[in-house]
Chains A and B, each alone.
Chain A
Amino acid sequence: MSLPAPLIEMRGITKTFGAVKANEAVDLSVAPGEILGLLGENGAGKTTLMNVLFGAYAPDAGEILIQGQKVRITSSADALAAGIGMVHQHFHLAPRLTVLENLLIGIRGKGGRIDRAGGLARLAEISRQYGLALDPDLPVSALSVGEQQRLEIIKALFRGARLLILDEPTAVLAPSEVEGLFSALRSMAAQGLGIIFISHKLNEVRALTHRCTVLRHGRVAGRVDDPANTTSAAMAELMCGHEIVPPARGPSTPGEAVLTLDGISTSKHSGTTLRDVSLAVRAGEILGIAGVSGNGQQALAEVISGVRAPDAGQMTIAGQKVSRFSPREVQALGLGRIPEDRMTTGLVTNLPLADSMVLPRVGTAAFSSRGLLKPDAIRAFAEEQIKAYDIRCPGPMVRAGALSGGNLQKALLARELAFDPKVLIVSQPTRGLDIGAARFIHEKFLAMRAKGCGIIVIGEDLEELLVLCDRIAVMYEGRIAGTLSSADATVARLGLLMTGAEGHG
């Protein structure tokens, strides 16, 4: 496209956190009507750069220009006033307030009161203009993740954003929701807004963006002028600095069943209930659990990992019946688990990384004796894993919360795999991870499979499941709607099962 004057220009941005250079002399520009892809490995500094643009972080050096004018952005209020809106990786919403209240926050009222009528009118206008609708009086906690994201976008537009930053918006969306987001973004761009889109899914980047800037280790590694006609492999190489080869999944020779569920049902409580779920995972096999989220995957993961006891049915791990359903019991029987939400249930973000990495096994002889911790052993273990898994961080004593998403996930994986589980259950294992890290994790799974571990992968990304799994079971409304072997499974057939259209297989 012919380039009009840039809407936003960042020049020579540098930002350090202690010893970490998160951004170094980064240049970036976006034209009106342009969708710019921002790519880079985990920890490359994408989020940091956008936080600088949005005024949340103060840069150490560099300048920001809006329509050629140098501006000083020292707070989000400045950024909003300058027409910059941001949808964060972790949403910035207050769950107990309503949609409208979340929109009106920070907006001047009318005669000292909240301007409800004005807010409603503006919301209706945005809905009409971009096809984004929401019930204004629902509390945010009642919205689905996709709707919360829509609210974040509306929030930015509500404040008159001319540049919209979206930090990994598709990581939290079901595949079916992604298309809706893309058409809204395209219509915004067509009406002259600039958009910065961050994603690790290169096919999405190729489908949506007009141009890309690629970061590596905080610096600009290159730019892509025609993403639609550039291969994913070429982009990946630009990001990682080397070629990424997809892992090869050899034929499997499954052994005995290491995990069986027989007629498992749960009732009431939160979320979808399980209804008569039976399945088995054999040693040396990877079983995928596909399905639109909210169809019982979470309940299934909770039962298997001993967090929730079922009301009916039996479960065995390595041939032993699980009787009490506690995380400790299933762990002792040989289950490893990587939860979906690595921030809240995965690692303790306020503890040093090393402590978090031994948490589930802290009572074992390796890390404590006579009720006292062995700090040296814990530290040594963490250092070893950091090296083995290439976890990028200042050291084992850093707060776990300071790691980037991909590195957190690697740390969790290292923690579980170090203890040679017989069964491993993982949810969304590569959500938010760059291609390199995702490959790495896939390779680890395949290596575990070769060693005779049974693995359950719960996920929404069908492409990933198809690459990884020997069999794929589809969940629909708390039941197993069908199971396909890797030879029979296609995106189309899985999709049908996921909507409940096809009967049991």
Chain B
Amino acid sequence: MSAVFEQIFQVGFLAAIIRIATPLAFATLGEMFSERAGVLNLGIEGIMLLSAMTGFTATSLSGSLWLGVLAAVLTGMLMGALHALFTVALGLSQHVCGIGVTLFSSGLAYFLYRLIFGQQSVPPSIKGFQTLPIPVLSDIPVLGPAIFNQFTLVYMAILAIPLAAFVLYRTPWGLSVRMVGENPRAADSAGVSVIATRFQVVILGGALMGLAGAFLSMAQFNAFTFGVVSGRGWVAIALVVFGRWDPWRSAGAALLFAFVDALQLRMQASGLGHIPYEAFLMLPFIFTIVAMAFMSRNAVAPSALLKPFRREER
């Protein structure tokens, strides 16, 4: 076991945690925003997959990474708008529509990928994002190379956390989001448009989910495979609850999950070979379930979560 502990404190291990946490942080923040306004977005898994696909494709066709990121973000926003159309404008069931969005986006992603790239024996890949050391900061021992020698998207995720907290807690728009998620009628009678606010938030959430997808296919794997998301969207939904719908806590939850995931990867690699590797793969999920069971008992969801708003109803 001591070999495992030694590895924990390696720079490489810390860097791995940060990298694994990045897409989770984007996705968790996206879902958190959406739920704070009262809209559960179960489309997250599919939105991430489709964004990973469009991002990858745009880059592969144009050669520009940032064009790919843009494509992924726009995809996320578009699918967010679709989810909002069903659940916010039409007031349909958030569960059903969310699952519908996931199924539709996943199917579309596979279909378009096949259409564009055909069936190739070697899956196409791109030259993805390269690490970008930040001068001075990356020279700090241990933490420097772990945190400040990363992909640009990682830096964006790190900045997104305080930014999300600022927007949610310090801006009038963030206050509207919270009010709409707690008591939409109160927001409405204060002159805030519940429908518009929810639309905006779900689209913003979609953009963040798009970034998560882009990270997976353009920085982490540099290719699009059908398993590129593999449940990270669902995990993000759990992490939002675990993080009690707060940006800082949600990001913390993502980091914790990433720690367990990185740990199990190391354990797979480090000579505990007589245990089937699937057992290690389960570890982060078991952790999530256990942590949720303990932590979410006194977590209180936004009061209006799942509730469509119709003005003339009482």
A residues at B contact (CB < 8 Å): 17, 54, 56-57, 75-77, 80-81, 86, 88, 91-97, 101-102, 104-109, 112-114, 155, 159, 401-402
SS class, residues of chain B in contact with chain A: helix
- Given contacts A56-B188, A75-B193, list 15 more A-B pairs with CB under 8 A: A56-B311, A92-B183, A93-B183, A94-B182, A94-B186, A96-B182, A97-B178, A101-B175, A105-B175, A105-B179, A106-B172, A114-B170, A114-B175, A155-B190, A402-B314
CB A240 to nearest CB in B, in angstroms, measures 24
CB neighbors of A among B154-182 (8 A):
170-172, 174-176, 178-179, 182
How many whole Å from B108's CB to the nearest CB in chain A? 35
Q: Are A95 and B182 in contact (CB under 8 A)?
A: yes
Q: How far is the CA of A401 from the CA of B312 in the complex (A)?
A: 12
Complex: A352 Cα to B131 Cα, angstroms:
61
Return the chain B residue nearest A89 by Cβ. Answer: B314
The answer to whether A92 touches B193, judged by C-beta atoms less than 8 angstroms apart, is no
| CB pairs A–B below 8 angstroms (18 shown) | A77-B192, A80-B190, A81-B191, A91-B186, A92-B186, A92-B189, A94-B303, A96-B303, A97-B178, A102-B186, A105-B190, A106-B176, A107-B172, A109-B171, A109-B172, A113-B172, A159-B190, A159-B191
Contacts of B188 in A (CB 8 A): 56, 75-76, 92
- B32 sits at the interface (CB 8 A): no
A93 and B171 contacting across the interface, CB-CB below 8 Å: no
Q: Tell me the dominant secondary structure on chain A's binding face.
A: loop
Q: Could you say which residues of chain A place their CB within 8 Å of the CB of B174? A: 114
Q: Mark B271-314, 1 if CB is under 8 A from A, else 0.
A: 00000000000000000000000000000100100000001101
- Do B175 and A76 touch (CB < 8 A)? no
A106 neighbours in B (Cβ, 8 Å): 172, 176, 187, 190-192
B19 at the binding interface (Cβ < 8 Å): no
Q: How far is the CB of A455 from chain B (nearest CB, A)?
A: 31
Chain B: residues with CB nearer than 8 A to chain A? Answer: 170-172, 174-176, 178-179, 182-183, 185-193, 300, 303, 311-312, 314
Given A57-B312, A96-B300, A113-B171, does the pair A80, B191 have CB atoms closer than 8 Å?
yes
Q: How many Å lie between the Cα of A112 and that of B182 in the bound state?
A: 22
A422 to chain B, nearest CB (A): 35
Once the chains are docked, how many angstroms separate the CA of A108 from the CA of B303? 24
Residues of chain B lying within 8 A (CB to CB) of residue A101: 175, 178-179
Option from B185, B193, B314 in Cβ contact (under 8 Å) with A401: B314
CA distance A109 to B40 in the complex (A): 28
Contacts of B312 in A (CB 8 A): 17, 56-57
Residues of B contacting A91 in the complex (Cβ-Cβ under 8 angstroms): 186
A50 CB to nearest B CB, Å: 12
Chain A residues, Cβ within 8 Å of B185: 92
